[in-house]
Structure 1
Amino acid sequence: MTHGPDPLHLAEVFGLAEKTAMRYADTARSLLHQAAEQPLQ
């Protein structure tokens, strides 16, 4: 995850369709962004 979610990598490694890989990558970006906004406990 050093360069963020990569839909091409997801599609290749897991055999996903392009649209599915893009949707997963978008969701991962959103989750990473939300986690970054949370204060550390």
Structure 2
Amino acid sequence: MGSVRYKHLNNITRQIWEWCENRHIFIVASCINTRDNLSRL
């Protein structure tokens, strides 16, 4: 978690993170190439 631009979104993210952590669920963020993402439509 880097710098905070939108505090309300950071709070939601923290809640999701803690919910997952309490249940031993590991989440990862990844980048999808725009071209690959559009081809799924």
- TM-score of the two chains, using structure 2 as the length reference: 0.48
Greater C-alpha Rg: 2
Q: Is the helix fraction higher in 1 or 2?
A: 1
Structure with the larger RCO, 1 or 2 (CA within 8 Å, 6+ apart): 1
